[in-house]
């Protein structure tokens, strides 16, 4: 009985791994890119590489409704069914945002897991400081906690005034959509 159960689990894991590996990730990406274009978001000049268990995009340029918004050095998407993640490295925002926030974002990590199925969690680091984000799928709301950097505290006081100062010295932003 145990041997049959182990064989069943082995075949199930093999099937799931093969399904993830052979999924046409680039085709799915281009479909999503087409859907984003309908919303006014255009991603251009990127290189898409299917690396088996993940999709890696390099050197992308993002524009929103015709306005250049950001350049992204690297974006890696992992979809493992139980644990999914997006890792973004080297984001430089458009100079149009310079009066609101620092332009360089070192990394953004977004995860969704079946262990926490009602929330999407994110962490970001950059010239602005460090940021923790949680998006509630059930309540359709976002909660962001920002630990601002010295640059943010010195040069972007007007942006920080839009946030609520927390007891620990950070800043909080909450919004329900």
Where do the domains of the chain lie? Answer: 1-76, 80-177
Q: Torsion-angle region of residue 65: left (phi > 0), alpha (psi -120 to 50) or beta?
A: left
What is the pTM (predicted TM-score) of this model?
Answer: 0.87
The span from the CA of 78 to the CA of 81, in Å, is 9
**Contact predicate 67/96, CB 8 Å:** yes
- Write the CB contacts of 46 (distance below 8 Å, at least 6 apart in sequence): 57, 58, 59, 60, 61, 72
The span from the CA of 82 to the CA of 19, in Å, is 13
Q: What is the pLDDT along the chain (177 residues), one digit of tens a residue?
A: 889 999 999 999 999 899 889 989 999 999 999 999 999 999 999 999 998 899 999 999 999 998 999 999 999 999 887 899 999 999 999 998 898 999 999 999 999 999 999 999 999 999 999 999 999 999 999 999 999 999 999 999 999 999 999 988 899 999 999
Q: Report the residue count for the chain.
A: 177
Q: Residue 111 CB: number of other CB atoms within 10 A?
A: 16
């Amino acid at each position: 009985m145990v041997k049959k159960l182990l064989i069943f689990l082995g075949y199930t894991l093999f099937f799931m791994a093969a399904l993830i590996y052979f999924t046409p990730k680039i085709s799915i990406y281009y479909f999503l890119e087409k859907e984003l274009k309908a919303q006014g978001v255009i991603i251009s000049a990127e290189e898409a590489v299917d690396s088996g268990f993940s999709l890696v995009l390099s050197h992308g340029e993002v524009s929103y409704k015709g306005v250049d918004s950001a350049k992204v050095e690297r974006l890696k998407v992992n979809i493992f069914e139980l644990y999914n993640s997006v890792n973004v490295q080297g984001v430089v925002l458009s100079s149009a945002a310079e009066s609101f926030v620092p332009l360089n974002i070192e990394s953004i990590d977004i995860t969704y897991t079946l262990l926490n199925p009602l929330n999407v969690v994110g962490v970001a680091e950059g010239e602005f400081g460090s940021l923790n984000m949680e998006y509630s799928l059930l309540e359709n709301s976002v909660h962001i906690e920002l630990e601002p950097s010295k640059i943010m505290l010195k040069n972007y006081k007007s942006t920080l005034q839009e946030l609520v100062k927390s007891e620990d010295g950070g800043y909080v932003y909450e919004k329900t959509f």
